[in-house]
């Protein structure tokens, strides 16, 4: 795993070569299996592969080449709707065989926890969970030999308009996938003693 992480890099442009749908599905499955606080799993995904949408998103991404040249783009959304989050979680827990009374009690505690935050705090907390899922996607992509580059620089309101995303979802991070057009640069990371306080 460490050798994989040492090899992984951020691709600043792609060749335009298509990656297989099978690999994309494996990356989505890695996202689905990611952990989250209280198992909330607030991430939602938009998968973009058509050239027209990529072209529309290009200026909304500050003209970053990865958007135009990627095979696929995964747009990570974060659900900000407590009812939606807890509704999906209830369905999953009931499907797993948890007694409904137990599920309802658990979800009531979660509702009180989430409603105890203001909107800004709640969005930040929920997006922290989405970034965990992003990490799983980055690692799975590297494992599959798919190059990627997480993008946090974009105009959210434009993404929202282009992709038809309602206000109940935050646009959190963008992950283009493909085959890198250039070899990796030397990896620059802080030393261990610089990160352990």
Rounded Cα–Cα distance for residues 33 and 49 (Å): 23
Residues 6+ apart with CB under 8 A from 31: 43, 45, 74, 133, 134, 136, 137, 140
Give residue limits of the domains in the chain: 2-80+130-195
Question: Average pLDDT in the 94-119 region?
Answer: 97
Report phi then psi at 29, rounded to 5.
Answer: -65, -40
For residue 48, the surrounding DSSP H or E stretch is strand 43-48
pLDDT, tens digit, 9 for 90 and up, residues 38-94: 999 999 999 999 999 999 999 999 999 999 999 999 999 999 999 999 999 999 999
Write the secondary structure of 75-131 as one string of H (helix), E (strand) and C (coil): EEEEECCHHHHHHHHHHHHHHCCCCHHHHHHHHHHHHHHHHCCCHHHHHHHHHHHHH
Question: Average pLDDT in the 170-174 region?
Answer: 99
pLDDT, tens digit, 9 for 90 and up, residues 144-162: 999 999 999 999 999 999 9
CATH 3.40.109.10 fits 2-80+130-195, yes or no: yes
């Amino acid at each position: 795993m460490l050798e994989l992480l040492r090899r992984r890099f951020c691709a600043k442009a792609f060749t335009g070569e298509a990656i297989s749908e099978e690999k994309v599905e494996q990356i989505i499955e890695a996202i689905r299996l990611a952990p989250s606080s209280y198992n909330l799993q607030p991430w939602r995904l938009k998968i973009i592969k058509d050239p027209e949408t990529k072209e529309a998103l290009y200026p909304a991404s500050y003209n970053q080449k990865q958007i135009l040249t990627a095979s696929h783009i995964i747009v990570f959304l974060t659900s900000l709707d407590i009812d939606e989050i807890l509704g999906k979680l209830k369905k999953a827990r009931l499907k797993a065989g948890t007694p409904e009374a137990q599920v309802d009690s658990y979800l009531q505690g979660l509702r009180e926890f989430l409603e105890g935050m203001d909107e800004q705090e709640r969005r930040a907390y929920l997006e922290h969970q989405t970034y965990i899922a992003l990490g799983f996607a980055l690692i799975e992509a590297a494992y599959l030999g798919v190059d990627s580059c997480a993008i946090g620089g974009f105009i959210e309101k434009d993404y929202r308009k282009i992709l038809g995303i309602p206000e109940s979802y935050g646009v959190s991070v963008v992950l283009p996938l493909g085959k890198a057009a250039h070899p990796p640069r030397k990896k620059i990371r802080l030393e261990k003693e610089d990160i352990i306080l």
